[in-house]
Structure 1
């Protein structure tokens, strides 16, 4: 929308119309578009190895081609997209070896996150995690793997927020986003859901009691067992976190 600026000088005050948008407005819009495309990749609407046509993407999400191009460049920096000169962009395909490397990084981040969250978690954050645990138990009892996975991701998100460390949260998110390139639409078996739920309960108990060392070890262990769950089923279909 055109904005009005007041120009002051030696003469009378005049009103000048301008169509310029504030840089923060443009940045906010691009951030929103990036989140849309990230979601498409994470939901499997854009699959690893799939070519991403700039114009088709722009039409799909209702933006200009230049905006779509900028978003793809940002996602390339995040490791989700690869852009090849004269060939365009495609969703990055992650190898098993690369996924293993990311799991090792993620386990280290989890250890740090567990320790910090145990020391910094608020009462509201504790109640939010407790509510998520109860809902995860119900999903596990109902053998609803899709719901369980969604709640699992939300639990991890709330736990990371409890660390009050923006840099840690940002790095962890980048690692998790890269892993989604390999862990598409993970499936938990009933046994795996029960084990995972128990691991979350152990993490929560340590957090609630302010046991920093135990929380660090429990969260790291949870990530490493998630890695093993994935390896156990990789020949069939990769599982979730």
Structure 2
């Protein structure tokens, strides 16, 4: 295994732990401990941490080392405000490019989401929620907009899955996704855009009203 492949491997493992919340916001990332944990050199750890810093997942402070980045409520709301615009644009752009096969795939995902909702399997619901959005991203011809959106979502992902645990958010979320799919099925790009913007704004409202729980 080459040096870069070791770095990439450590980077991916660290990123996964940060994104899924195993490593908490503001948690220190000591190079010595990480090198022992992943059985690599401290230089490899340094390189992986620098890669994570570029993605705004980690902060590296001189003479203090690295720690997981934590976000203020203001930052989160700013990210979601920007995401609403990007996701709306993506939904609009993707609508006319949907094949019947992809529409069927989205309908099937929505049906699975409904089943998880009825069984109160909220984390499984959230995972399929991500799949629902991915189909839309894949249909969008503007890859720059998609990459920007994914970068924003990656930074917030450790918080995003918790929003579904807020009382009442699950039913509201399902209703929003159903409406978005209906607009796309009807090739109504304007409506798909406005519904997607409303969906992200409602996520933003959830963050604003439940900051202490989510963070």
TM-score (norm 2): 0.89
Q: 1:132 aligns with which of 96, 105, 109?
A: 109
Equivalent runs, 1:90-109 vs 2, <5 Å:
90-109=67-86
Count of residue correspondences: 215
Q: Which has the higher contact order (CA 8 A, sep 6+)?
A: 2
Q: Does structure 2 retain, via aligned residues, the 8 Å contact 1:206–1:215?
A: yes
**Structure 2 CA distance for partners of 1:30 and 1:208, relative to 1, 3 Å:** farther
TM-score (norm 1): 0.80
RMSD after superposition: 2.2
- Which protein is bigger by CA-based radius of gyration? 1
Question: Per-residue CA shift, 1:119-143, capped at 9, x if unaligned?
Answer: 2223332222112101110111111
Corresponding position of 2:178: 201
Corresponding position of 2:154: 177
**Structure 2 CA distance for partners of 1:142 and 1:190, relative to 1, 3 Å:** farther
Q: Distance in 2 between matches of 1:61 and 1:209?
A: 50
**Residue 71 of structure 1 pairs with residue 48 of structure 2:** yes
Q: Return 5+ residue gaps in structure 1 as ranges.
A: 2-20
**Residue 142 of structure 1 pairs with residue 142 of structure 2:** no
SS of the residue 1:217 aligns to: helix
Q: 1:53 aligns with which of 30, 35, 39?
A: 30
Q: Distance in 2 between matches of 1:188 and 1:76?
A: 29
Equivalent runs, 1:153-172 vs 2, <5 Å:
153-172=130-149
Q: Return 5+ residue gaps in structure 2 as ranges.
A: none
CA deviation after TM superposition for structure 1 residue 59, in Å: 3.4
CA deviation after TM superposition for structure 1 residue 43, in Å: 1.3
Q: Distance in 2 between matches of 1:43 and 1:181?
A: 5
**Structure with greater proportional helix content:** 2
Q: Does structure 2 retain, via aligned residues, the 8 Å contact 1:81–1:92?
A: yes
